[in-house]
């Protein structure tokens, strides 16, 4: 299968919503437990657009199926964090283990660098070894571990924070 990465369009939102809602129902990549509606996604899409934050999709070229998506937005809503972003990447399980998450991550990193972002932050469930490994491959360093800060499926979950600095600071230059 051949894939392309492109900016998301509003017409992609039903497929994006389906990917995310499936993760809500069955996975640990989000600790959200309430399914999202198309209205939720339209508001989210417009908010990202208004704040000039990206959302990319990876599309199977022959079928135009959306295999996954990635975005980043403000890390915190406080002015002092304006050059720090937190990202998300979700892949439809049908397309797992084809390197699409890595391709989307590389696109996000490239975009962030072009936009003058200082730090990208990842918040990852501690049991998501594949995501932690992928982030390590891309130069992210673990900078935090927060035990039992959230719940999913009635179980307390631990959160791993990883970050990538773009300015040549010690976090991005040295193995931790």
CATH number at residue 169: 3.40.630.30
Q: What are the tens digits of pLDDT across the range 46-83? A: 999 999 999 999 999 999 999 999 999 999 989 899 99
Residue 153 CB partners (closer than 8 Å, separation 6+): none
CA-based nearest residue to 42, from 70, 23, 14, 66: 14
Determine the Cα–Cα distance for residues 71 and 128; give it in Å rounded to an integer: 19
Decide if 57 contacts 6 (C-beta within 8 A).
yes
For the chain, the domain total comes to: 1
Helix (H) or strand (E) holding 131: helix 129-137
Whole-number mean pLDDT of the chain? 92
Instruction: Quote the percentage of the chain above a pLDDT of 70.
Output: 95
Which structural domain range is residue 143 located in?
A: 3-173
Determine the Cα–Cα distance for residues 45 and 11; give it in Å rounded to an integer: 11
Q: Report CA 22 to chain centroid distance, whole Å.
A: 15
Instruction: Quote the percentage of the chain above a pLDDT of 90.
Output: 90
- 175: pLDDT confidence band, cut at 50, 70 and 90? very low
Strand runs labelled E in 3-118: 3-7, 55-60, 66-74, 84-91
pLDDT of residue 171: 43
Determine the Cα–Cα distance for residues 2 and 130; give it in Å rounded to an integer: 23
pTM: 0.90
């Amino acid at each position: 299968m051949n894939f392309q990465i492109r900016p998301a369009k509003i017409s992609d939102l039903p497929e994006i919503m389906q990917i995310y809602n499936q993760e809500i129902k069955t996975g640990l990549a989000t600790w959200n437990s309430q399914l999202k509606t198309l209205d939720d996604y339209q508001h989210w899409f417009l908010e990202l657009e208004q704040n000039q934050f990206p959302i990319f999709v990876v599309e199977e070229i022959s079928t135009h199926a959306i295999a996954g998506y990635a975005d980043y937005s403000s890390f915190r809503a406080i002015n002092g964090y304006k050059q720090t972003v937190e990202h998300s990447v979700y892949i439809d399980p049908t397309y797992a283990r084809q390197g699409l998450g890595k391709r989307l991550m590389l696109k996000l990193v490239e975009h962030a660098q072009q936009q003058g972002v200082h730090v990208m932050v990842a918040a990852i469930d501690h049991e998501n070894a594949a995501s932690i490994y992928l982030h390590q491959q891309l130069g992210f360093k673990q900078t935090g571990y927060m035990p039992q800060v959230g719940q999913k499926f009635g179980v307390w979950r631990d959160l791993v924070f990883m970050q990538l600095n773009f300015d040549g600071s010690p976090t991005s230059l040295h193995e931790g």
